[in-house]
Amino acid sequence: MEQAGTRRTTRRIAIGALKLGGGSPVVVQSMCATRTVDIDQTVAQTHQLARAGAGIVRIALDNEKEVPALKEIRAQTRGIVLSVDLQENYRIAGKVGPHVDKIRYNPGHLHHIEKSKSIPAKVRGLVEVAREHNLAIRIGVNCGSVAPAFLEKYAGDQLSALVESAVWHCELMDELGFDRFVVSLKDSDPAKVLEANRRFAARRPDVPLHLGVTEAGLPPDGIIKTRIAFEKLLAQHVGDTIRVSLTLPNERKHEEVTVGHQIIKDVERGRFISVPDFGAGLNIISCPSCSRVENEKFVELAQQVKEITAYAARHRITIAVMGCRVNGPGETDDADLGLWCGPTTVNLKKKDHKLGNFRYDAVLTRLRAEVDKLIAERSAAADN
């Protein structure tokens, strides 16, 4: 039987020893949530994910100081295909290149540094690193961080900005004669993931796609949101590799991989278990955490947010819970209430208005008060 999601038209590319796209089975991948400088923990989690069936394991690196740790992690995980997330710091690509099989860059982060250098010149630099070290590349666009030039050009149409940004980066790769790349177009809203990937696949049927619903959150809701997008895309043979992003403690991180395999299996058997109209009420999104997470209480906090807001299940309110101060402010922008972790406090905002920093043991009381206020405001508006 044809594998779910294997678009016969995508090109097949090599990522280390792995073949992806062009009719190869869909690859399930995942990402370490441990601190990269904690070599033992990261090696252990890399093996944990690979044992569960991850074909690719991603590790995030923020700065050059973490490169020696990555080198050691590579030495202790031979045989596992490693990808590195360059996050905001694409300049470390040359240093990490010798120790991984793939690099991921986010086109929305390229403008932050070296402002006088053009984006095509920065992409050329990344391709040179990939060629030198025999790497594949992922162009990973994300609704929460679309490049400003595209947001301006497609003002008010974030989805077009996202898709066009990805298409443009593919064209940069084409001009450079580099074809060993995949693309991902992610959002926390499965409907947007569905639409963005469908549109991109129609524009660039040759390019292998990495599917992901970012910040899907805690299971089971996070799994349901992921299925809404993945089941439809895979059934239409869109998607060559998938990552299920769930908020889970480290000892359960491999569940992202088992869930991914289960979704693929279910689609192959024609078993679709997406819940129609899911997300019409309270919607809690939370990141899967990564090496940047600022306090290990993050997963517990996300769980507590879910518990104390359960009473508002029928209200159309989005609450976003993020693990760090780097991406927290931006990734909570579309939410009604946003929380992001610092080392000792949690930041809270209502839409774009900052409500302040609260101790971990105090933030939930304030959050509950803000949810009550929101419900009262909406009910008053409905009465008028």
Where does this chain bind ligand SF4 (CB under 6 A)?
287-290, 292-293, 322-324, 326-328, 331
Transcribe 134-168 into DSSP letters: T-EEEEEEEGGG--HHHHHHTTT-HHHHHHHHHHH
Nearer to ligand SF4, 25 or 329 (CB): 329
Shortest approach of ligand SF4 to residue 377 CB, angstroms? 28
Peptide bond into 220 cis (omega under 30): yes
Shortest approach of ligand SF4 to residue 58 CB, angstroms? 11
Shortest approach of ligand SF4 to residue 144 CB, angstroms? 9
Shortest approach of ligand SF4 to residue 289 CB, angstroms? 5
What letters, b where the CB count within 10 A reaches 16 and e where it falls short, cover 88-115?
Answer: bbbebbebbbebbbbbbbbbbbbeeeee
Residues 209, 239 contacting (CB under 8 angstroms) = yes
Residues 71, 59 contacting (CB under 8 angstroms) = no
In angstroms, what is the C-alpha Rg of the chain? Answer: 20
Which whole-number Å values give the CA distances from 190 to 218, 233, 321, 340, in the listed order?
15, 11, 17, 22
Nearer to ligand SF4, 6 or 291 (CB): 291
Shortest approach of ligand SF4 to residue 172 CB, angstroms? 25
Nearer to ligand SF4, 317 or 324 (CB): 324
Shortest approach of ligand SF4 to residue 234 CB, angstroms? 24
Nearer to ligand SF4, 110 or 287 (CB): 287
Nearer to ligand SF4, 91 or 325 (CB): 325
Shortest approach of ligand SF4 to residue 324 CB, angstroms? 3
Sequence-distant (6+) residues with CB within 8 A of 333 are 144, 352
Residues 185, 198 contacting (CB under 8 angstroms) = no
Nearer to ligand SF4, 223 or 290 (CB): 290
Instruction: State both tokens at 22.
Output: 């062009």
For residue 201, report the phi and psi dihedrals to the nearest 5 degrees: -60, -35
183 DSSP β-pair partners: 139, 209
Nearer to ligand SF4, 120 or 342 (CB): 342
